[in-house]
Structure 1
Amino acid sequence: MPTTKKESLQFGVMMCFGMVLLMTVYNYYLNGMIGKMTIMEGLSDFLIGFVIALILDMLIVGPNAKKIALKITANTKKKIYTVLAISICMVIGMAFFMSIYGLVTTYIHNGFTSSSVVKDYVVIFSSNLIMALPLQIIIMGPFVRFIFSRYIKSTKHSELRGV
């Protein structure tokens, strides 16, 4: 897929945008926030989450997920196994960190509502992982790879050929 830093950034922006958008709506639904917050509050929460996710993707989770996935799939020649391994490692890493973000924002908005931060984190992490893994593997991953290969990669190849 991405072969240059620019392409990696473009791919990461598209993937983060889609995943953060859908996961934000999912979490608003889970917390009963749809209809209770203004559009501006929703957009600002989305933008903050998007920036944090993009930074995590580019600097921490992405590089480490790729290293782990490439080690796991080193003995396979099937690219689909590598793609799935990277996707799974990315989802686990992003769910881990973004659940911390979700926990912090929940405490900021609602205060401490239970006696166990660890329990709250495990609940948030598991509910995010349950949604994010199939969302990434079945919907967003294939969709973003299609858009990327169709419009970003094809544009680059057209420019190289002088078309």
Structure 2
Amino acid sequence: MPQNKKEGIFFTTIVCFSMVISMSAYNLLLHGQFSLSNLFGGLVPGFIVAFIFDVLVVSSPAKKIAFSLPVNKEKKIQLIIAVSSCMVLGMVFFMSMYGVFMQFGFTENFLRYYVDAFAKNLIMALPLQLLLVGPLCRMILSMSRQSNWLKETND
């Protein structure tokens, strides 16, 4: 887990990017619209929206909820699972809304489309985050920490 502000920004960026590209590919495949042009065409706006939701809306409440859960906070893995799960729930809540809005707009069927998208996204996002993206990004963070390029300086 990040130990300073620089590491926090780096970690948030790589997790957010990894989840956006993965979930975008998943949703395009679900709707039979996958192509590299569709994937990369929506990547920058999707990443910007996800990063804003992550930093400004989801992160703080998700961490507060995770730390209030009855998990052994001395066991790092339990804390990681709690925080990651709460983050995924919050991000799927908002990003499913964003995805439905971008694909269909606010129609009379918005709520039905949203509930369907939320369920399908949660099924994919939670294991993706817990089993692949989270561990991979923590490994990248650890490697970057060893190279000292994320070290806080007084510059």
Q: Which residue of 2 aligns with 1:154?
A: 146
**Equivalent residue in structure 1 for 2:116, among 91, 115, 123:** 123
Between the aligned partners of 2:103 and 2:150, the Cα distance in structure 1 is 47
Which structure has the larger Rg?
1
SS at match of 1:156: coil
Q: Which residue of 1 aligns with 2:89?
A: 92
1:34-80 Cα distance to aligned partner (Å, 9 max, x none): 24xx72x4323111011111111111111111111111146542111
RMSD of aligned alpha carbons: 2.1
1:67-119 Cα distance to aligned partner (Å, 9 max, x none): 111111465421111100000000000000000001101114xx85xx53211
Cα 1:146–1:125 shift into 2, 3 Å: same
Report how far residue 30 of structure 1 moved.
0.4
Between the aligned partners of 1:48 and 1:116, the Cα distance in structure 2 is 24
2:10 is aligned with 1:6: no
- Asked which structure has the greater RCO (Cα within 8 Å, sep 6+), the reply is 2
1:99-140 Cα distance to aligned partner (Å, 9 max, x none): 0001101114xx85xx53211110000000000000000110
Letter in 2 for 1:120: Y
Q: Which residue of 2 aligns with 1:16?
A: 16
**Equivalent residue in structure 2 for 1:55, among 52, 72, 81:** 52
User: What is the count of residue pairs matched by the alignment?
Assistant: 152
Task: Provide structure 1 residue ranges, at least 5 long, that are not aligned to the other structure.
Answer: none
Q: Which residue of 2 aligns with 1:43?
A: 40
Task: Provide structure 2 residue ranges, at least 5 long, that are not aligned to the other structure.
Answer: none
2:44 is aligned with 1:29: no
Cα 1:159–1:140 shift into 2, 3 Å: closer
SS at match of 2:54: helix
Letter in 1 for 2:128: L
Q: Which residue of 2 aligns with 1:107?
A: 104
